Amino acid sequence: MRPGRISKVLAAAAVVALSLAACTPTPPAPTETTAVPTAVDGGNLTVLESEPFTSFNPTSVTGNSLTNSRISSATHSGFSSVDSALNIVKNEQFGKYEKVKDDPLTIKYTINSGVQWSDGAPVTADDLFLEWAAASGYFNDATLDAKFAVKSGTAYFHSAGDNSGLARTAIPVISDDRASLTLSYTSQFSDWETALGSTVSVPAHIVAVRAGLKDAESLTTLLKSMEKGDPAKPAAVNPTLRKVADFWNTGFDTKGMPDPTLALSNGPFLVNGITADKELILTRNLDYTWGAAPKLDTLTVHYENDPDKQVAALEDQTADVISPAVTAERIAALTALQDKGVALQQGQGLGFDQVVLNFKGVLADPNLRSAFLHTVPRQEIVDQVAKPLDPKAEVLNSFVFRPAQIPYKESARSNGVDTYSVPAVDATATPAPDQAKELLDGAKPTVRILYNSGDPERVKEYSLIAAAATKAGFVVTDAGKGADQWLDSLKDGAFDVALYGWTSNPTGSVQVPQVFRTGGISNLNNFSNTVVDQLTEQLALNPDMAKQNALKMQIDRLVIEAGYGLPLFQRTALSASGQHATGVAYSPLALGPWQSVAQWAYVK
């Protein structure tokens, strides 16, 4: 069991949108429904988020939420970001990173002079060292049970990020001037460019003092003195490291405005005030010169979990920017507001819907898996669920590539998904596919179909799939759960068939093993294939894009051949802005409109 795994599993439980790898596609151009007006410098815009802010450390398990991540993106910076075309964009005003050598893979990070926290302390390599310590799982020596609870040893840092890359690294080396950190990998890692420092969000000097240490340098000295954790030989708990990790894990969690030292910024905005569960105020960071300077003086964040009320707030001008859950009705309602100055930012998102089969239980039989997949009316699902959101929507034919990626068409032609291309199912006339009936051979197996019954699109998907499967001879049990319950059932394996979505990782390939490797942290359906396991390990080691694509094509084929499930369609990404806002741009990323926050401006 690799150190740090507990944290990632807890993170998977905390976040509904899970990660599947993607390369670097170019999404279709966004749809802008109004012309860009003239803006003024300064002013305030009001943004609605669906859930309240709860933590200044969005990389911890307890702090890992969409709202926290969006606020962090506006208040912190780092060596790079990902743009709307899913390209890695370096921020050399913050600093630079460079590959020093290939064998061993060695990366040097250098922070520019003048980059600082909002209390005036410089951002240093000690901050990067703490980020590495938390994200790598290097010090954890816990052994976990089947439910990922600690049986023995210690899990210090509970990071919500993936540690499969940084787990391959040795203790970093810091330069004498504390400006540079050099990181050496014990084996090759294809996604090294985004493994560390994309955003530096936790100040080491604050964590150090809160844990009883003198300063950030003292914290780094402590970390460098520790041995690598070994679950086979767990060591006694180090009380000082325990204090450091505990504070990193939960010390930045808050519902109100905390001690200002816990709200430090190194980005374009500062958090200036929080009213618990009601409001958060961001103000422009006047000292920020190591990135694109914001145009607004302030941003006011309010919370509204009802998407229709978000639309109403945009209409009555009590909100300026929203990113509600997408339905055809909401798109129509927002489109109807164009004459009131509302603009839509719409395009393909990174999320996609899928049908996934459980390899334990009744569908352990490969013939039954194949029979069920032959009943899935993918075209009908696209016609009734996806096209009302996007008239150009098509059936998705790959688990690991998106249509905008060059390898997609080739993989779709060779992965065998066309075996399951069934015609639309008319519940009153069209017979079930003959292949399914032949494979069932008169059997009438019972299958439980799990889905989020609070999502109207998933309800439609379930209805179409259940009708088709019933025709073929399956006995379908509706195992739908509410929004606050279905994910627990998914993790517990309480399903035979599950309908849920992945959010593709914007760059790299490292998340593919998380989903398809035996025992992977996001392998929620007990899928296991020794060849796939070998290919996923090669994928993590090989930095050559062409070779990565070839490996992923093989994985795509093997997964579909095994009856893992079927991809359905890509989901639409949507935000909208009112007549007083400009510069709000489409983004396929989870950040949504916040990706363009530095360009937001107020229109009188």
Rounded CA separation 158/5 (Å): 9
Asked if 356 and 505 sit in the same domain, the reply is yes
Domain final position from 199, 219, 250? 250
Asked if 239 and 305 sit in the same domain, the reply is no
Instruction: Check whether 426 has a pLDDT greater than 80.
Output: no
Rounded CA separation 355/380 (Å): 14
pLDDT, one tens digit per residue, over 137-165 is: 999 999 877 666 788 899 999 998 778 88
Asked if 582 and 438 sit in the same domain, the reply is no
Instruction: Check whether 36 has a pLDDT greater than 60.
Output: no
CATH number of the domain that residue 213 is part of? 3.90.76.10
pLDDT, one tens digit per residue, over 327-354 is: 889 999 999 999 999 999 999 898 999 9
Asked if 305 and 434 sit in the same domain, the reply is no
pTM: 0.86
Residue range of the domain that includes 554: 349-571
Asked if 414 and 343 sit in the same domain, the reply is no
Residue range 546-553: mean pLDDT, rounded: 94
Q: Under a CB-based contact definition with an 8 Å cutoff, are residues 562 and 299 in contact?
A: no
Predicted confidence at residue 294, as pLDDT, reads 96
Rounded CA separation 37/49 (Å): 24
Asked if 136 and 231 sit in the same domain, the reply is yes
CA 285 distance to own-chain centroid: 27
Residue 45 lies in a domain: no
CATH number of the domain that residue 450 is part of? 3.10.105.10
Rounded CA separation 241/377 (Å): 54
Asked if 303 and 226 sit in the same domain, the reply is no
Instruction: Check whether 12 has a pLDDT greater than 50.
Output: no
CATH number of the domain that residue 268 is part of? 3.40.190.10
Count of domains in the chain?
3
Domain final position from 232, 250, 268? 250
3-state DSSP call for residue 269?
strand
Residue 44 lies in a domain: no
Other beta carbons within 10 Å of 444: 10
Residue 25 lies in a domain: no
Q: Residue 169: what residue type?
A: T
* Planar angle of CA 252, 253, 255, nearest 5 degrees: 130
Residue 71 lies in a domain: no
Sheet strands (E) in 408-545: 446-450, 475-478, 497-504
pLDDT: is 474 or 21 the higher one? 474
